[in-house]
Chain A
């Protein structure tokens, strides 16, 4: 049985626009709280710019720490958007419908947040225009020298800006019909805003056709970007010949699948929050989490395979520096308990739980297991970056250590507040569940062709 109450079209409009149009007290309280954290982060960043990177815990040889970990983490989270929207759209998985917008918006905000960190962590942030140009500002070519295209740090901003641009377009294309609905149901400044953004969408056949074509084209075009972004992020590490724990050919697929793992988990967390906060249980239903849970089992297991191969092939070489690194990473403290937490949290606790249908359909359990996955995945990146630098090569005289400073902790906390606050603000201005998509899903009898068979697209169980 599908636990869905039949709704009329106008009811769908009212339900899904309620987050935008109704005022909730909790919304402003939460937003103010997040704003405080962001302010604290901004103050920390200002202090760091003023005094220099000495206020962080970075040292020699651990030149990269919390900031780069956090950068990789947020780029990873951003992989959910395309995974859920583009891939599932092309695969015509019907259950994706309420999840897509949330996933895409999460993508945009986490990417934008991720981008801040490499710029923050430079020694002279006021000169980053030597390195990256932002869309509004050109590269600084006054020195008569172009950027070094051999550097992975140049591939990085290129890939991420491409991804950010394409996923913003993607969200916008999907938003147009909803903006038209919002335009017709609002007054004042909102009406003016939506009318401008809706680009004169009236819902005639030609407009719908163009909108659908644009969506499918973007889905297909964004896929190579999806694979390349985290591959390139992984090459920041894999291209470093001198760091024993980084220089691995397996890093690109390993990072991409890890990103999908943490990204899809992040979307599940966000969807459950939406269902709770905006009372959208009629749209975000247990069968969605059932399907997402199954997807997560596959993704997590594929990720675990890469993790296992990476680890065991490293040991297989029996190089002293590799073994020294693994000893620190797995048995040295405090890295050892982090390592245990990471493996348990990102695989051995959630995956066996997801095997049970009752767990997959329980919002509370899905919420906490997906939170666990992302704690684990944050630690994974941290444990790749920092212990590898501590035990870079065999020169034991210069082996190092790392203790993050409060400044770094504050900035990491602020990044979470930026993403959460961004999504919340977005929900106040734009519909977070695609209205037209929800209606479309209602009309398409949930069946698709697989080969010669017609099967239900939403996996339903008795």
Chain B
């Protein structure tokens, strides 16, 4: 089947050097995407949901200990291991480079989650509940997922779609690329908009003028678990610290 040609390839750059581990992205994502509240009980059950999480590693020996942070969200891999294993096509790759989850198709085999090396797929073990005080906070643009299905970071696809509609109304053929100009960057995901240190950059990797495209050519660039050959659309930039990554992690 011939796919319609789309010249957009959504991509994100995560600059580890700028990340302070403040978790603003986690909170922003939680409220933007109607992710169920991760209570202590859910943490105890190891069933908390955070579409983006900040992993914390300790490096070095006491007293020279340093905390290292790395935000991890769905990497939207071009050769995603989660996609071929789903028996019902609940997850597939769209022509904008997004790894899409179709909630209505999902039967909940959880095979995709097993096959995700980044562990960024989340299963609704329980029917999600919100306290009454938060019910008006739910985002009307995002489906509230029921129990028994997988969910994960969508690169805030609802924002992408909205900005495409807005662009079409304004007569532009595509959304503007500058994610950090509030007047144009409506399509930037919630985590990117919330990041106070500008560690997350989002945009169209196929547009040579975008910040993402220029950062993607940095010599600090790397992919997470690159040896697996998943070709992620999330690019990490190494920390600028000669002692970083000496392998002494905890």
Task: Say yes or no: B55 contacts A398, CB within 8 Å.
Answer: yes
Give the CA-CA distance A151 to B228 in the complex, in Å.
19
Asked if residues A124 and B87 are in contact (CB atoms below 8 Å), the reply is no
Q: Is the CB of B114 closer than 8 A to any CB of chain A?
A: yes
A409 within 8 A of B: no
Main secondary structure of the interface of A (DSSP, over half): loop
Q: Which of B105, B115, B127, B249 contacts A52 (CB 8 A)?
A: B127
In the complex, the answer to whether B119 meets A153 with C-beta atoms within 8 Å is no
The closest CB in chain A to the CB of B84 belongs to A150
Instruction: Report if A18 contacts B (CB, 8 A).
Output: no
Closest to A320 in B: B247
Within 8 A of B (CB), among A408-428: none
Chain A contacts of B115 at CB under 8 A?
240-243
Query: Count of chain B residues with Cβ under 8 Å from any Cβ of A?
Result: 43
Is A128 an interface residue when CB atoms closer than 8 A count as contact? yes
Residue picked from B81, B84, B109, B118, most chain A C-beta under 10 Å: B109
In the assembled complex, which residues on chain A have CB atoms less than 8 Å from the CB atom of B55?
395, 397-398
From B119, B127, B149, A61 is in contact (CB under 8 Å) with B119
B169 located at the interface, meaning its Cβ lies under 8 Å from any Cβ of chain A in the complex: no
Q: Which A residues are CB-close (under 8 A) to B60?
A: none
Number of A-B contacts (CB under 8 A): 143
Which residues of chain B are near A33, meaning CB under 8 Å?
none
Say if the beta carbon of B180 comes within 8 Å of chain A: no
Taken together as a complex, chains A and B put the C-alpha atoms of A145 and B104 apart, in Å, by 13
User: How far is the CB of B69 from the nearest CB of chain A, in Å?
Assistant: 10
Are the C-beta atoms of B228 and A241 separated by less than 8 Å?
yes
**B48 / chain A contacts, CB cutoff of 8 Å:** 60
Q: How far apart are the CA atoms of A243 and B119 in the complex, in Å? A: 11
Which of B46, B81, B88, B105 has the most C-beta atoms of chain A within 10 angstroms of its own C-beta? B88
Distance to closest chain A CB from B108 (angstroms): 2
Using Cβ atoms and an 8 Å threshold, which residues of chain B touch A128?
A: 107
A392 to B225, CA, bound (A): 12
Q: Which residues of A contact B45 (CB under 8 A)?
A: 54, 59
Tell me whether B110 is interfacial, beta carbon within 8 Å. Answer: yes
- How many angstroms from the CA of A52 to the CA of B127 in the assembled complex? 7
Known: A60-B46, A63-B110, A396-B249. A151 touches B87 (CB 8 A): yes
* Interface residues of A, Cβ cutoff 8 Å to B: 51-54, 58-61, 63-64, 118, 121-125, 127-128, 130-131, 143, 145, 147-148, 150-154, 236, 239-243, 389, 392-398, 400-401
